[in-house]
């Protein structure tokens, strides 16, 4: 089981920490009380999706010994303007060097999309979410 912890700092700033001790600052826009010094949680969903697919695609292309020199994954999300402001559409764009055959890039993307990327799979079939409360 994976575990992360979010700890409140002040205002609307939080520190996220994983089991290995890595940390990310979470914050939000100034107009809703934040300082804009960290990632908004909703943006981290897009970061997670881009990262998951990038790991898969690079791994697949390297195993095929493709001449991969660079890879950029741009992810854009459209959201509802009303709460809960969930994403209604996500666009994933892959940018790489010209030496990568388009059919190999397409196949690597399809494998990530259809088989390997756990973030995309979670978005497509949402998990059961269970809540617990504890006061100290």
Co-location of 24 and 60 in the same domain = no
The answer on 44 and 31 residing in a single domain is: no
- 16 and 71 both lie in a single domain: no
Q: Could you tell me if 60 and 105 lie in one domain?
A: yes
Q: Is residue 136 part of a domain?
A: no
Asked whether residue 54 falls in the same domain as residue 120, the answer is yes
Domain that holds residue 44: 40-125
If asked whether residues 69 and 86 sit together in one domain, one would say yes
Cis peptide before 97 (omega within 30 of 0): no
Q: Give the whole-angstrom CA distance, residue 25 versus residue 48.
A: 15
Residue from 106, 118, 96, 108 nearest 49 by CA: 118
Stated pTM of the model? 0.91
H-helix or E-strand spanning residue 122: helix 118-124
Question: Which pLDDT does position 120 carry in this prediction?
Answer: 97
Q: For residues 18-31, give the mean pLDDT.
A: 96
9-30 as b/e: b if 16+ CB within 10 A: eeebbbebeeeeeeebebbbee
CATH number for the domain that contains residue 116: 3.30.300.20
Distance CA 17, CA 13 (A): 13
Cβ contact 67:97 at 8 Å: yes
Number of domains composing the chain: 2
Domain containing residue 35: CATH number: 2.20.25
Residue 88's pLDDT band, with cuts at 50, 70 and 90, is very high
Does 20 reside within a domain? Answer: yes
Cα-flanking dihedrals φ and ψ of residue 44, to 5°?
-65, -25
Residues 120 and 63 in one domain: yes
User: pLDDT (tens digit, 9 = 90+) per residue, 42-71?
Assistant: 999 999 999 999 999 999 999 999 999 999
Both 63 and 35 in one domain: the answer is: no
Look up residue 22 and give its two tokens.
């890595």
């Amino acid at each position: 089981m994976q575990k992360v912890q979010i700890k409140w700092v002040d205002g609307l700033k939080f520190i996220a920490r994983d089991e290995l001790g890595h940390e990310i600052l979470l914050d939000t826009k100034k107009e809703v009380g934040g300082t804009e010094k960290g990632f908004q949680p909703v943006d981290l969903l897009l970061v997670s999706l881009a990262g998951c697919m990038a790991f898969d695609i690079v791994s697949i292309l390297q195993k095929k010994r493709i001449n991969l020199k660079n890879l950029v994954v741009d992810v854009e999300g459209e959201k509802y303007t009303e709460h809960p402001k969930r994403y209604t559409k996500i666009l994933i764009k892959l940018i790489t060097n010209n030496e990568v055959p388009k059919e190999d890039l397409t196949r690597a993307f399809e494998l990530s999309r259809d088989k390997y990327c756990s973030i995309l799979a979670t978005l497509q079939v949402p998990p059961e979410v269970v809540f617990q409360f504890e006061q100290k």
